[in-house]
Chain A
């Protein structure tokens, strides 16, 4: 078990990087606490696999240091770092049995046969693989193979961290959640530091205690799933998390309030003071569909928007409306009846966020 720290790490795949654009990972500092369950979440190309490979030692960062606890491991190869990695597709030794697969890392390190057998049995039991121990690995199903992959990482007692790179990619959709649950169990039981890379927010939000959202080679926010949902620090986090993501309305300073671009609407509120101190920034209001209030009739502070459609999605309804040139989504409970040409929307101050140049102000 170990905590992992990044100091000033940046990485470029080019031999001679010239400017920032050549860097897949821009300079970042981060730390993953011992025993935490982390998810690295972001779209394709954001740098999460690069980050993972720097943790495991498969990549040596162009700049910066990587520390395990207090040890500088930047120059250490993966075999000396005591990590385990699970890949997108099962990486197992086809010609060996499950038992031999699990025993392999321990045999290579010269452990005694009895100790190996004990450890293998333990891990096999944890992962529900006892029934297939004698079977050749090539004949297993995809999820069993991934478990073997994971098992090979768990057999070593001194494993510092377990790194998973989109491990559910080739798993049957019906089995994905089973494997996810098993991963949580393993984490709860053994307490390793887990780092889980994914582009699927569902996976990230259900698995991790803390989610690291990445975009364009930078870490954009680190926080619990709750934090990410309630207070996205970056426009991207608001947009990426949630389905559908946050609504954004470009706005400007107007008299005593914020005017929504392209409309006559002016909203008063505490945001104004904050916005006024950043006069030249590009301003946007953000509100999640879950929080945007759809009122029965006009009320003080509400705005009128043109109703586009209402979709019944089972346990909630999705309302689409146009406020001037901007489209907004709102979620309402399934019982509500919404109809007519217009809807009345309200932006609750405690849930509405203000962004200046993509960053959260209020």
Chain B
């Protein structure tokens, strides 16, 4: 499908660009500014060029935090995307049950993120939490404050519980947008359920799945509040992700220079990988056009 070229279409886009640029440009410039200066106090700032960048890039603790982050985001995508799609396929299409299921799905998404961390702290406590108590009575020792593995398990459970509904809602909307005629044609063609999924549903969900993957990647890569409240980055450094580390640096030590440099680097990493994901997802299954 060829799109006609029409530069007049810019008129439709201008409000969006203005609005977003208004919020984006100045603060970004300010942060880049921080990243090349050493700030001792208001009005006392000295140009240091790329010094902060070199320092940040050489920080081994940051490297570790980044590795943890890649592991985390990787797990998030591997679990949440397929799970979300499966659940969307299982959801009812019509009837009263739809409203009920949609509302239940939305619940985890609507809770402020610090409250989520709090809920899961209690939920996993062996004395007063449902999960912790149950595990304890089954004889499984589980303590996310002491064991890094348990901390990660709790974190992943919390994360999957919290965000899979986002994938489900997107995938469900994508599925609902498929005209009934395609299912009818498939029925007439004698296609099995698997073939229907492979040749109709999955291709037509490309758009929503791209959004789901990008959103989950970006948001999980930048994650802060939930792990911070749940574990504070611990035990030790087991769950210290780059954003937690960043906040310690920026606010804890009030060092805007390195924090600024870090933010820029962080942004560029997310940008690079998002772009890669985007390119892959746009082209997978396309094959050779002509």
Chain A residues with a Cβ under 8 A of chain B:
56, 58, 77-79, 83-85, 87-89, 91, 93-96, 104-105, 108-109, 135-136, 139, 149, 152-153
Report chain A residues within 8 Å CB of B187. 58, 77-79
**Which of B185, B286, B287 meets A91, CB within 8 Å?**
B185
The answer on a CB contact under 8 Å between B289 and A93 is: no
Also in contact, A139 and B289, with CB within 8 A (given A89-B181, A91-B185, A108-B195): yes
Give the size range of B's interface with the partner: 20 to 34
Closest 10 CB pairs of A and B: A108-B190, A105-B189, A91-B185, A87-B181, A93-B199, A95-B203, A78-B188, A91-B181, A79-B190, A78-B187
Interface residues of B (CB under 8 A from A): 179, 181-182, 184-185, 187-192, 195, 199-200, 203-204, 285-287, 289-290
Contacting residues, chain A, for B286 (C-beta < 8 A): 136
* A109 lies within 8 A of B190 (CB): yes
A230 to B18, CA, bound (A): 64
User: Given A58-B184, A95-B199, A139-B289, does the pair A89, B179 have CB atoms closer than 8 Å?
Assistant: yes
Interface Cβ pair total, 8 Å cutoff: 58
Residues of A within 8 A of B182 (CB): 91
Q: Which residues of B contact A104 (CB under 8 A)?
A: 189, 191
Residue of A nearest to B198 (CB): A95
User: Is B188 within 8 A of A83, CB to CB?
Assistant: yes
Q: Please, could you name 8 A-B residue pairs with CB atoms under 8 Å apart, sorted by A?
A: A56-B188, A78-B184, A78-B187, A94-B203, A104-B191, A108-B191, A108-B195, A135-B290
Inter-chain contacts of B204 with A (CB < 8 A): 94
Cβ of B287 and Cβ of A136 under 8 Å apart?
A: yes
Chain A positions within 8 Å of B195 at CB level: 108
In the assembly, what is the distance between CA of A53 and CA of B184, in Å? 10
Q: Cβ of B189 and Cβ of A108 under 8 Å apart? A: yes
| Chain A residues whose C-beta falls within 8 Å of the C-beta of B190 in the assembled complex | 79, 105, 108-109
A215 to B199, CA, bound (A): 38
- Write the chain A residue with the least CB distance to B195: A108
* Apart from A78-B187, A85-B188, A105-B189, 7 more pairs, CB < 8 Å: A78-B184, A83-B188, A93-B203, A104-B191, A108-B190, A136-B287, A136-B289
Q: Which residue of chain B has the shortest Cβ distance to A135 in the bound complex?
A: B290
What is the minimal beta-carbon distance from B198 to any residue of chain A, in angstroms?
Answer: 8
Cα(A201)–Cα(B191), bound, Å: 35
Given contacts A89-B181, A139-B290, contact A96 B199 (CB under 8 A): yes
Say yes or no: B199 contacts A87, CB within 8 Å: no
Bound-state CA distance A88–B180 (Å) is: 12
